[in-house]
């Protein structure tokens, strides 16, 4: 099993399938899952892969085969997970802001649902009484995560039931006899500090006695991985040791399962986006490198100011100079400003690292450009798992009318 694809492999795949292309290394996904399993050994911890990071069916099937469970963020993700082979008992649906009809649909499909509003909990009670045990997502009022856009547990966040509304929550539960089997929090993405999870645990442990049907505590995902050399990352061994110790030390928590929902940790580093250089443009301010991509393919640098490492696969030994890597869409889609790169020429292949999580998944057809193809590599063998869009895809659902 190889954790990194070599430059030669990446070039070969780009030549075979064309660019832009997303490439995922399945061996790396397996490695990351094994690391989690090893850190959280003992059977008490369940891993739910956060499918929103990367939902390609072949990836979901592979993660299913590895033995993980899956966490979904929409009814369509639930359906994809079921199609990929997950038994409903291994599917979790952590909903946010959805119409009650979608919760009903998920319950009828047999998956476990975390409800994130008093409104929908009340509806569940009114319509189904205590028929369906569910989880509730709470907002613990903890600031965490790499930047405000990906912080989800603070006291102005839309996510979850604010923990200070515990009284109202209990009223609904009591009124309908709803069995709350899981308490969920997810405080953010890119969390590098294990103690954030302990803060969350402290909030939950204070209220556990109010939930007699509880079976599990779900601490969400958000494990930070490295996007560049020397980047601080979460230490999952330390996280495991601290979390398990906290659960052991708390009488009421001893019998509970512990759930995590990692997305980036599972699939960020497995992914590469390979693009080609269209042209160079010298200006007084910088040298622009325009590639055959844009925020329609990888929006993280523009949306979150996220750093993605870039390499020139075609000229690794070239003289290093600063280049501003930009896309070809009609927006300011700057991937990197004045990034030192080996000499870049027309036609060179540039690779973006850490492109597995929230890469293709957040892609669009803006400017009527095609989304890239997706390729997966297992034991050195590359296979196409999604074709590049075509003109037919762009017009498929359009209804052309004469006006």
The beta strand positions in 26-103, using DSSP E, are 45-50, 69-72, 91-94
Specify the residue, 140 or 222, whose C-beta has the smaller distance to ligand LLP.
222
Q: Is 324 in the site for ligand LLP (CB under 6 A)?
A: no
* Cα gap 44→226, rounded to integer Å: 27
Specify the residue, 262 or 271, whose C-beta has the smaller distance to ligand LLP.
262
Task: Give the position of tokens 């399962």.
Answer: 257
Residue 176 marked in a binding site: no
Window of 22-30, 162-170, 231-239, 263-271 that interacts with ligand LLP by CB under 6 A: 263-271
3 state DSSP class of 44: coil
Q: Is 300 in the site for ligand LLP (CB under 6 A)?
A: yes
Q: What's the count of helices (H) and strands (E) in the chain, helices before strands?
A: 12, 18
Q: Is 139 in the site for ligand LLP (CB under 6 A)?
A: no
Task: Give the position of tokens 């999604």.
Answer: 386
Cβ 271 vs Cβ 15: under 8 Å: no
Window of 97-105, 161-169, 203-211, 219-227 that interacts with ligand LLP by CB under 6 A: 219-227
Binder to ligand LLP among 29, 56, 63, 71 (CB under 6 A)? 71
**Tokens coding 376:** 């997966």
Closest CB 132 distance from ligand LLP, rounded Å: 20
Cβ 26 vs Cβ 378: under 8 Å: yes
Residues 6+ apart with CB under 8 A from 398: none
Q: Is 222 in the site for ligand LLP (CB under 6 A)?
A: yes
Q: Is 339 in the site for ligand LLP (CB under 6 A)?
A: no
In the shown chain, the binding pattern of residues 235 to 254 toward ligand LLP, with x for contact by CB under 6 A and - for none, equals --------------------
Q: Is 56 in the site for ligand LLP (CB under 6 A)?
A: no
Q: Catalytic one among 330, 399, 400, 401?
A: 330
Specify the residue, 71 or 333, whose C-beta has the smaller distance to ligand LLP.
71
Q: Which helix (H) or strand (E) holds 290?
A: strand 287-291
Closest CB 194 distance from ligand LLP, rounded Å: 14
Residue 307 marked in a binding site: no
Rounded to 5°, angle at Cα 93 from 394 and 373: 30
3 state DSSP class of 109: coil
In the shown chain, the binding pattern of residues 88 to 107 toward ligand LLP, with x for contact by CB under 6 A and - for none, equals ------x-------------
Specify the residue, 234 or 377, whose C-beta has the smaller distance to ligand LLP.
234
**Tokens coding 294:** 């844009």
Q: Which residues of 153-184 are buried (b: 16+ CB within 10 A; e: fewer)?
A: bbeebebbbbbeeeeebeebbeebebbbbbbb
Residue 222 marked in a binding site: yes
Task: Give the position of tokens 């099937």.
Answer: 61
* Cα gap 154→33, rounded to integer Å: 29
**Tokens coding 90:** 């291994």
Specify the residue, 78 or 277, whose C-beta has the smaller distance to ligand LLP.
78
**Active site includes 330?**
yes
Contacts with ligand LLP: how many residues (CB under 6 A)?
Answer: 21
Specify the residue, 304 or 307, whose C-beta has the smaller distance to ligand LLP.
304
The residue number whose beta carbon is nearest to ligand LLP equals: 263
The DSSP bridge pattern shows strands 310-312 and 373-378 to be unpaired
Which residues carry out catalysis?
Answer: 330
Residues found near ligand LLP in the complex (CB under 6 A): 50, 53, 71, 94, 150, 152, 186, 189, 220-223, 261-265, 300, 304, 357-358
């Amino acid at each position: 099993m190889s954790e990194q694809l070599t430059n030669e492999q990446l070039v070969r795949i780009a030549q075979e399938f064309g660019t832009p292309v997303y490439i995922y290394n399945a061996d790396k996904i397996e490695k990351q899952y094994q690391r989690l399993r090893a850190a959280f050994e003992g059977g008490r911890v369940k891993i739910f892969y956060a499918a929103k990071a990367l939902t390609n069916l072949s990836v979901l099937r592979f993660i299913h085969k590895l033995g993980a469970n899956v966490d979904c963020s929409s009814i369509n993700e639930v359906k994809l997970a079921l199609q990929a082979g997950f038994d409903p008992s291994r599917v979790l649906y952590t909903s946010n802001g959805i119409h009650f009809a979608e919760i009903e649909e998920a319950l009828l499909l047999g998956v476990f649902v975390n409800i994130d509003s008093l409104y929908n909990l009340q509806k569940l009670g009114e319509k189904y009484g205590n028929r369906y045990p569910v989880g509730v997502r709470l907002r613990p009022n903890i600031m965490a995560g790499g930047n405000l856009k990906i912080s989800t547990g603070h006291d102005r966040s839309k996510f979850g039931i604010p923990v200070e509304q515990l009284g109202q929550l209990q009223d609904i539960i009591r009124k309908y006899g709803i069995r709350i089997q899981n308490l969920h929090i997810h405080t953010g993405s890119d969390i590098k500090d294990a103690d954030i999870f302990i803060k969350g645990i402290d909030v939950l442990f204070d209220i556990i006695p109010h939930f007699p049907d509880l079976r599990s505590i779900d601490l969400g995902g958000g494990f930070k991985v490295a996007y560049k050399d020397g980047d601080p990352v979460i230490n999952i061994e330390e996280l495991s040791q601290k979390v398990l110790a906290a659960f052991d030390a708390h009488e009421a928590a001893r019998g509970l399962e512990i759930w995590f929902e990692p997305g980036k940790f599972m699939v960020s580093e497995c992914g590469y986006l390979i693009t080609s250089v269209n042209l160079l443009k010298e200006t007084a301010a910088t040298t622009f490198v325009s590639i055959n991509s844009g925020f329609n393919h990888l929006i993280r640098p523009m949306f979150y100011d996220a750093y993605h490492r870039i390499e020139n696969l075609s000229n690794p030994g070239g003289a290093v100079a600063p280049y501003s890597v930009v896309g070809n869409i009609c927006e300011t889609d700057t991937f990197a400003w004045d990034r030192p790169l080996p000499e870049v020429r027309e036609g060179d292949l540039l690779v973006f690292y850490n492109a597995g999580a929230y890469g293709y998944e957040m892609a669009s057809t803006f400017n009527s450009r095609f989304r890239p193809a997706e390729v997966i590599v297992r034991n050195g063998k590359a296979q196409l798992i999604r074709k590049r869009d075509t003109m037919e895809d762009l017009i498929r659902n359009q209804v052309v009318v004469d006006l």
